[in-house]
A = this chain, B = another copy of it.
Amino acid sequence: MPLVNIQLRHGTTPAYRRAIADSVHAAMMEVLGIAADDRFEVVNEHAPENLIHDPMFLDVPRSDRSVFLQLFLNRRSGDQKQRLFATIVERLARDPGLAPEDIFIGIVEVDAENWWAFARPTTASAI
């Protein structure tokens, strides 16, 4: 039962935002074995001045199409997290066509017992 926060600037279409959400969820299914229906994502749209980043972090130019992703997940290995990052970036490049330098991802890991959704008060599996 992961929770995904997607933050980006105002001015995109619902289809564009949906493509981001779909690509992130598909990457979590592929790398972490998350179920197709185990999907909880929130898209937050911001005024340009409210989404703040340096336009040249690590000497790489970053555009105003920047997307900040925050993933709340059960604990994973370092290797799984690296593969998740790579797969998210790869899928977002395909759809909706986001440049890697415009993607910022942070993971927050929690215990499997920290989720509740009707009919599954605790998660038996580590997924």
> What is the size, in residues, of chain A's interface with B at 8 Å between Cβ atoms?
63
- A126 in the interface (beta carbon within 8 A): no
Please, how many angstroms separate the alpha-carbon atoms of A93 and B83 in the complex?
A: 40
Give which listed residue, B45, B54, B113, B121, contacts A50 with CB less than 8 A. Answer: B45
Which residues of B are found within 8 Å of A1, using beta-carbon distances?
104, 106
Count the copies. 3
A118 and B101 contacting across the interface, CB-CB below 8 Å: yes
Instruction: Decide: A14 near B49, CB < 8 A? Known: A1-B106, A105-B115, A108-B114.
Output: yes
- List of B residues within 8 angstroms of A116 by Cβ: 85, 88-89, 103-106
If A85-B121, A104-B117, A109-B110 are given as contacts, then 16 extra A-B residue pairs at C-beta distance below 8 Å, sorted by A number, are A3-B106, A18-B49, A37-B58, A40-B104, A42-B68, A44-B46, A78-B113, A81-B113, A85-B116, A86-B121, A104-B116, A105-B115, A106-B115, A107-B110, A107-B114, A107-B115
